[in-house]
Amino acid sequence: MENVSSSPASTGERRHAHLGPAKLSTRLAFFIAGFGLACWAPLVPYAKARLGIGEAELGSILLFLGIGSVVGMPAAGHLAGRLGNRAVVAAGAIGVVLCLPLLALAPNGLVLGASLFVFGAALGGIDVAANMHGTEVQVRARQPLMSGFHGLYSVGGLVGVGAVTLALSFGVDVAWTAGAASAIVLLCLLASLAGFLPTPKAAQAHALFVVPHGIVVLIGAMAGLTFLSESAVLDWGAILLSESKGMPIDRAGAGYAAFALAMTITRFVGDGVVARLGNLKALAGGALLTAAGIALAAWADDSRVSIAGFALTGFGAANIVPVLFTLAGTQKAMPVGYAISAVSLLGYLGVFLGPALVGHVAALLTLPLAFGLLAVLMLAVACLSAQAVKA
């Protein structure tokens, strides 16, 4: 009689059952990162009003969030290789838990800036460790999983901004709201701790930071261009609709909402798409769809068509970054931890610099033309896809 337990199907089932806790831990880590960052967004006006500062001073203070992330990402790649992803995620989540109430109650700009620095470092650390752990889980599962993992980041963002905005709109005190958000992060952390895969015995190189080289630079640059386009939709999409398309300002947020919803939905089916198409077609096709969506949003005369363009942008961009992190996790030019932290850092530079670059280009030309240039950059990502995948 045939031994059913030794069949390939049953072997795969046992493998996936064994990885179930690790998948859950990865999803919760991504959720914490997206949720924590999104919870801060509705608190910004309260911080500005409490400190009585202007836009320029607030902008300077907000830079500490980016600086903290830039510091935290390389450190996370080093520490994850030495201590394990669980330790880095735990430290980052505790940082978020402690910082959210401080962000809500900071009595002066110095405390707010310091809190934002730690907050950014904590979120950057979680982001790197979650991607490292997700890559390891995906390798062991022998099937694409990163799109689904990144989908939980999107869900965390939607839940975070929605829950905090709703609580504040019902008159819940800002300190209690931030405390409740911290409690949710802590609960997610506790639920995730047991499922992380053990730290490999062979620790990576001892250097705190390794200069990106080889194919990692290309992958990171592609991530940066993609994040730049995504951040432009977040920061400039509503302005494009209200000032260039004549849409009422109270409805102009519909563009980003369409983008975010499309991206979230697509990421939950993205693993199957990547499995069927392969990394090259998923990466190049996603970049082409993103470019088409941005161009449609920029040059359509009807605001409804522009919103459809933003949705198409979300559909296209959804799988690009997960595939790029998969490539960073499988390349041989650098140790995985350093490669993923480098790609995270280069990608974040797109988020960090994107809004300012779009603003300056729009001032020289027009905002629709600035978005058109973003479409050209995404065409470049599509053209570079074959080189990134073959490495």
Are 246 and 187 in a shared domain?
no
Instruction: Give the pLDDT confidence score for residue 339 in this predicted structure.
Output: 85
Which stretches of 196-300 are DSSP H helices? 215-239, 254-299
Q: Clarify whether residues 254 and 383 are in a common domain.
A: yes
- Same domain for 277 and 386, yes or no, is yes
Q: Give a yes or no: residue 1 inside a domain.
A: no
278, two tokens: 């392969």
**Could you tell me if 273 and 388 lie in one domain?**
yes
pTM comes to 0.77
User: If pLDDT is split at 50, 70 and 90, which confidence band does 344 have?
Assistant: confident
CA distance 96 to 33: 9
> Is 167 found in the same domain as 220?
no
Classify residue 196 by its DSSP letter.
S
Is residue 366 one of the residues assigned to a domain? Answer: yes
- Residue 27: which domain range? 17-195
* In a shared domain, residues 140 and 66: yes
Answer whether residue 4 is part of any domain.
no
Two tokens, residue 66: 């980016």
Mean pLDDT, residues 184-188: 97
**Spatial CB neighbours of 154, under 8 Å, sequence gap ≥ 6:** 34, 260, 263, 264, 267
Domain identity same for 266 and 123 = no
The answer to the question of residue 11 being in a domain is no
* Count: domains in the chain: 2
Residue from 37, 231, 40 nearest 124 by CA: 37
Q: Are residues 122 and 218 in the same domain?
A: no
- The band of 292, judged by pLDDT with boundaries at 50, 70 and 90, is very high
Question: Does 186 share its domain with 313?
Answer: no
Last residue of a domain, one of 164, 195, 226: 195
Mean pLDDT for 15-36 is: 87
Last residue of one domain, picked from the residues 195, 230, 261: 195
- Measured CA distances, 374 to 184, 293, 312 (Å): 36, 11, 14
CATH number where 116 lies: 1.20.1250.20
Final residue in a domain of this structure, among 195, 224, 241: 195
Cα 357 to Cα 36, 39, 228, 290, 346, distances in angstroms: 26, 26, 9, 19, 16
